[in-house]
Every structure is written in C-alpha cells, then in structure tokens.
Amino acid sequence: MSEIVTTQLPVMESFYTIQGEGYHQGRAAYFIRLGGCDVGCVWCDVKDSWDAAKHPLHDIGTIVAGAAQYPGRIAIITGGEPLMHDCTPLTGALHEAGFQTHIETSGAHPVSGKWDWICLSPKKFKAPLPEILPLANELKVVIYNKTDFQWAEKFAAEVSPNCKLFLQPEWSKSGQVTPLIIDYIKDNPQWEFSLQLHKYIHVP
C-alpha cells in the first residue's frame, strides 16, 4: 500500500471575491492567504499574517475543496509571503481540480510550485531573489514616495519583455502619490495604473 502524504499549510483566511489589483483586476477569484512573512513592510495592511504559527494548518485537500465550492477557476495564493512555504503540493492539487494558479509574492524566497501567473511585488524591506525576475508575468510596484519610481525601473529592466508593468499607490499615501503616478505613466506609457479596486467596491 502506498504511503499517504498529508501536506498542510497555515491558512490565515480564504475567500471568493473580485481580484482588485493588477492585470487580472475585475476577475472572480478564490484567494488563499497563507500565514508567515518575514519581509516586514512598514505599511503592511496584513500584519496579522506575519506569524505563521498564529494560523491553523489546513490540509491541501480541504483548501482545494473550499475553492471548488465556487464557479471561478482562478486561485490566487497570497500572504503573508506564500513562498516561505513549499507551494508544490498546493499548486498540483489546484491544477488537478481545474484551477489556474496565481501567486502574489515579494520574491524574497525561492520559487516553489507551478504557476500560471506570477505577480511579483518587490519590497524594499527584503529584496527579491534574482531568480524570480525573469519568471514574473506581472511586476507590481507599490509607490510610497517619489523615489520609488527609480526603484521600480531597476526591476523593470530585469523582468522579461512580456512582463506587464504596474504602479500602485500605497493606500495610506494614495492622495499624495496618485497624481505623481498619473504623470509618471503619461511620460512612461509602458507602465499601467493598479488601483486596488476592491477597496473602492468594499469587497475583501
């Protein structure tokens, strides 16, 4: 009899909603927020995610069954920093169940799992590993102050030519930085605006 391997991951929350950010903005998706992050962004709006031990371990099968209750077939793995975990079993099970697998990551840990869409959102507090840059389908840079544009360009120069480029205002600084982003995109049209739509339509 073959051995049954049970793989578990710490899940902070999971929910079916509308993707609010980036290239897939507006599409129905099931979010799986894994616990654990060591990046330490000062403006992080999910600080409760940082300590993985605070979040219950869920079997992969239970996680996928939760997603499969809904008709959408995009599963977005977020965090926390999801690449602190081996995502291979989870993405394998999601693919078997017919999902497209998306990840939102800072890239600060080695890539694991098979991904249909990698959204790389590099953070100043812990740099992404160079290996993820050519794999990113989308580069989403959060703009907190005007020096961040130059920092964003550093990564834009290292991603693949097909990678979509997004600038997103940091929520608490949105009033100050949104006009700067608009001007920057008008001058540098390879970039697009990412709005955090979910915060305007009041969905998670």
User: Residue numbers of the site for ligand SF4 (CB under 6 A)?
Assistant: 37, 39-41, 44, 46, 49, 79-81, 106, 123
Shortest Cβ 66–ligand SF4 spacing (Å): 21
Closer CB to ligand SF4, 67 or 84, in the complex: 84
Q: What angle do CA 60, 112, 136 make, to 5 degrees?
A: 120
Closer CB to ligand SF4, 35 or 89, in the complex: 35
Cis peptide before 80 (omega within 30 of 0): yes
Shortest Cβ 81–ligand SF4 spacing (Å): 5
Shortest Cβ 180–ligand SF4 spacing (Å): 21
Hey, what are 156's tokens? Answer: 């834009």
Place of tokens 């100050």: 176
Shortest Cβ 166–ligand SF4 spacing (Å): 15
Cis peptide before 107 (omega within 30 of 0): no
Task: Let me know how long the chain is.
Answer: 204
| CA neighbor of 80 nearest in space, from 106, 113, 50 | 50
Place of tokens 């926390």: 80
Give kind and range of the element (H or E) at residue 14: strand 8-18
Is residue 189 within 8 A of residue 181, CB to CB? The reply is no
Closer CB to ligand SF4, 24 or 123, in the complex: 123
Closer CB to ligand SF4, 93 or 119, in the complex: 119
Closer CB to ligand SF4, 95 or 126, in the complex: 126
Is residue 165 within 8 A of residue 192, CB to CB? The reply is yes
Shortest Cβ 124–ligand SF4 spacing (Å): 10
